[in-house]
A and B are shown apart, each in its own frame.
Chain A
C-alpha cells in the first residue's frame, strides 16, 4: 500500500475561520511533507517533519501551523488566511527523509480563501 490520503478534498474558508487539513499514511514512513501549489506553478515545499519533529520550515507565515501527532498523521492548521493562500496543498511521505528516497504524494486539498 503506497497510499497517502488527504482530507478534505476541497475546503472553502473565510479569512477569520480556523480550519485544519489532514494527511495520513500507513507505510511506516518517518518523514512527512507539506507542499503548496499555486495555479500554473510547481509545488513548493512548506514544512518537513522527520521522526515527528519539525526539521524544515521554509519561512512559512505563522498563520499556517503544522502538527505531527504521530508517525502516521500530519495536520496543517489554518488561521486568519488571506485570499492569496488559495492553492492546492499536497502532503507527501518518505521512508526516512533520505535524499534518494521516493516521496509518495496524496491527491491534495484544494483550498479557497474568501
Chain B
C-alpha cells in the first residue's frame, strides 16, 4: 500500500499571508506527482503535474517544487486570497503496466479569511 501523506491537515490564514504545504511520497518507482485544488461542491481542478527532480512550476500566485530523491513536494501560495480557500490534494502516480494510477494524499484544507 502506497503511503502519500500531506501536512498540515488544515490551515487557517489571513488574506495576504503566504503559506505552504507538504506532500510526502515514496521515493522509489517515481513517475509523476499531481497537485489538485478542490473547492466544495466543485470538480477537483488540476494545478500541476510534476515529473522531474528539481521541477518548479508556477500558476499565478501558486507554485510547487519537487524532490524525488527524498520524496516530497511543496505547494506555495503567495498572498492568499479568500478564493484560494479549498482542499489541496497531491497524488502519486504509479504505472501498473496497463494504465496509470493515482494514489491521493489526505489533503490540506486551506481557509483564507479577510
**Bound-complex Cα distance A48 to B32 (A):** 18
Using Cβ atoms and an 8 Å threshold, which residues of chain B touch A101?
A: 49, 100
Residues of the A chain whose Cβ atoms lie less than 8 Å from the Cβ of B102? 43, 45, 103
| Contacting residues of chain B (81-114) with chain A, CB-CB under 8 angstroms | 89, 93, 95-96, 98-107
- Chain B CB within 8 A of A50 CB: yes
B31/A42 in contact, CB under 8 A:
no
Contact B98 A56 (CB under 8 A): yes
Minimum C-beta distance from B43 to chain A (A): 5
Given contacts A41-B106, A43-B104, A107-B43, contact A102 B34 (CB under 8 A): yes
Q: How many residues of B contact A (CB 8 A)?
A: 27
Query: Is B43 touching A4 in the complex (CB atoms < 8 A)?
Result: yes
Measured CA separation A56–B95 after assembly (Å): 11
A-B contact count (CB 8 A): 64
Within A84-114, which residues are at the interface with B (CB < 8 Å)?
90, 94, 97-108
Contacts of A31 in B (CB 8 A): 99-100
A34 to chain B, nearest CB (A): 12
Please report the total number of A residues contacting B with Cβ < 8 Å: 25
Answer yes or no: A55 CB below 8 A from chain B CBs: yes
- Write out the residue numbers on chain A whose beta carbons fall within 8 Å of the beta carbon of B32: 99-100
Which B residues lie within 8 Å of A98 (CB)?
Answer: 100
* B100 / chain A contacts, CB cutoff of 8 Å: 31, 94, 97-99, 101
Let me know if A100 and B99 touch, CB within 8 A.
no
Contacts A43-B104, A100-B32, A107-B41; is A56 near B46 (CB within 8 Å)?
A: no
Closest chain-A Cβ to B46's Cβ sits at a distance in Å of 4
Question: B44: CB under 8 A from chain A?
Answer: yes
Q: How far is the CA of A107 from the CA of B41 in the complex (A)?
A: 7
Residues of B within 8 A of A (CB): 4, 31-32, 34, 36, 41-46, 49, 51, 89, 93, 95-96, 98-107
Q: Which residues of A contact B (CB under 8 A)?
A: 4, 31, 41-45, 48, 50, 55-56, 90, 94, 97-108
